[in-house]
Every structure is written in C-alpha cells, then in structure tokens.
Amino acid sequence: MPVRSFRPTSPGRRGATGFAFTEITKDTPEKSLLATKKQRSGRNNRGVITVRHRGGGAKRKIRIIDFRRDKAGVRGRIAGIEYDPGRSARIALVHYADGEKRYIVAPNGVAVGQHIVSGKGVPVTAGNTLPLSALPPGTTVHNVELQPGRGAQLARAAGAGVQLMAKDNGRALLRLPSGEMRYVSEQCLATVGTVGNAEHALLKLGKAGRMRHRGRRPQVRGSAMNPVDHPHGGGEGKASVGMPGPKTPWGKPALGYRTRNNKRTDRSIQRRRGNGRR
C-alpha cells in the first residue's frame, strides 16, 4: 500500500504522510462482528491511573478477530479488505462455506475472491493456517500460537513475520521479529505468510493532534519536573541527570535493565532479543 504525502497547507500538514488505502475494498464493517469499547483512559476500576499518557481519542468499535482459525477443513472466501482502527494491520472478512462470517488479520498478498482454509493437510500458501508440524523449516508465518488452541499471540502487527527455523522432539524453534529465538509446541497453529500493510512503519503523523486522535496524551520530560515527581527533576537551570544512568519515575534503571520475570517460560527462550543472552 503506497504512502502518500499531503500538500503543505500548514506546518503540521507539511511533515505528515498518510495511506492511500488502495487495498481497502469494503467501507462499512460487518455489524455482527462489532463490539463496543468503553474508554478507560488508562485507569483501573478505582479510577487510579495505571498506564500513563492515555486518554481522549476518537471513538471506535472493536472488530472481533478470529485468532483461533479453528474451522478445520471448512473453505473460506475473502469477501473484503477493511480498515481496523484498533490495529496497524488490515483485516479481511471471510465468508465460510457453512455460512459463517469471520474477520482475520489480512496477510500480505491476499485478494478478494481468494480461498483460504485451515487444517493439517492444506496447501502451504499465504492465508492458510496449519500446525507448525506440517510446515517445512524456513517457512515465514504469522499469527502464531504460544499454546495449542489458545489463539494466535505472536506476529499480529503490520508487516510482522516469524521464521520457522527447526523442529525437534515435538517443539518448533521460531525466530521472532525482535531477534528472539523461542520454542513452542509443534501443535501450535500458524498462518502462512507475513501480515500485510508493511508500510505502516513509514507513516509520519506530522502534528501532535494526530497522536491525540489515537488516545495518546502528551509526555512531560522528567528533567522538567520537581524532585518529588521524578528522579531527574529539580536543580538550577538545565541540570543533568545527576545519577548513574537515567531512571524511570519510580527509580528503576531505564536503559538495559531486565524487567522480565517469568521463570515458568524461561526454558522456552533459546536466545533473548537484543544482546542474545538467555
């Protein structure tokens, strides 16, 4: 999908880019696959902010996406490609042979009228979903499950893809977009190909207002705060951090500090992302 620039009618418009939406074939969503979303603005049930810099934004409805792809052997036809305001990827409306309609994350290269199917013995073509045990090593997949039957959790964003590196003793070794090497069960389902709309990373918002439309509020530098509000705050004039390395608002190291604490799945990671350590 091409990225288009705008006429520089204002300073904010000058640096902004947008999508041409040439791949969109259906403007109105399927009503039976919509759900309402309550705006929580990053607050919990007590009204306390648990995620900073959230709030506002345009109203939107959730599209119910089929991440399980559990209709084994039932043939489906791509009826339309749609825009989803809740994700970076495009979504595809699938009409199945039994009359059911479902949304899926649109893979790269799929077109209206194309047929897709899930199952163990289906062809290894873009859009089809198979267990990792039925895929040859080197295949690029997306929408990968971490546990069989749980639904896809890996590689769901625009342009994402996971490479199947090897299979051994009922486990499949995957190389994730972050560089992490991870083992999952061979019985986990995955969809062949990469996620479409890979040009999403090239988008330039151009002005703060477009970020506010997405529900993101401004972020204030810690050095501009008072010492009571942030470790970087205080001082006369433009002061330096004044401590060994930058800190989060809660005093934790902000660079290179490992925050992952899930020993239950440590053995599934063969190589960590970034520096390659386990």
> pLDDT tens for residues 109-155?
999 999 999 999 899 999 999 999 999 999 999 999 999 999 999 99
Q: What is the pLDDT of residues 235-258, one digit of tens each?
A: 999 999 989 999 999 999 999 888
Length of the chain: 278
> What are the C-alpha distances in Å from 128 to residues 21, 122, 184?
24, 7, 19
Distance from C-alpha of 254 to C-alpha of 257, rounded to nearest angstrom: 6
Which pLDDT score is estimated for 1?
Answer: 60
The CATH 4.10.950.10 domain(s) of the chain lie at: 228-278
Distance from C-alpha of 235 to C-alpha of 224, rounded to nearest angstrom: 10
* pLDDT of 278 strictly over 90: no
What is the third-level CATH fold of 228-278?
Ribosomal protein L2; domain 3 (4.10.950)
Q: Which CATH superfamily is domain 3-201 in?
A: Nucleic acid-binding proteins (2.40.50.140)
Pairing of strands 34-36, 101-105: unpaired
Which pLDDT score is estimated for 2?
Answer: 83
The CATH 2.40.50.140 domain(s) of the chain lie at: 3-201
* pLDDT of 37 strictly over 90: no
